[in-house]
Amino acid sequence: MGFKLVRDTFIFTEKRLILLDHQGVTGKKTRIHSISMDSIFDVTIETAGT
């Protein structure tokens, strides 16, 4: 399952969370984060308000 925000992408697999972070004004530079699902132990959410 994946989600695309304005420029960034989040991809969920059974074992990993992969984040594609496009940097800079043109978005040519990309940073990729790979996080093991076993290392995620707490998730919080905060809304913007009303």
Give pLDDT tens digits for 1-50: 888 877 888 899 999 999 988 887 776 888 999 999 999 888 888 888 76
Phi, psi (deg, nearest 5) at residue 42: -150, 135
What per-residue confidence (pLDDT) applies to 33? Answer: 92
What per-residue confidence (pLDDT) applies to 29? Answer: 87
Residue 45 lies in a domain: no
Residue 15 domain boundaries: 2-38
What per-residue confidence (pLDDT) applies to 4? Answer: 84
* DSSP bridge partners of 10: 3, 19
What per-residue confidence (pLDDT) applies to 16? Answer: 92
Give the count of domains, the chain: 1
Closest by Cα among 46, 36, 27 to 9: 27
Quote the DSSP letter at residue 25. T
Residue 27 lies in a domain: yes
Residue 47 lies in a domain: no
Residue 7 lies in a domain: yes
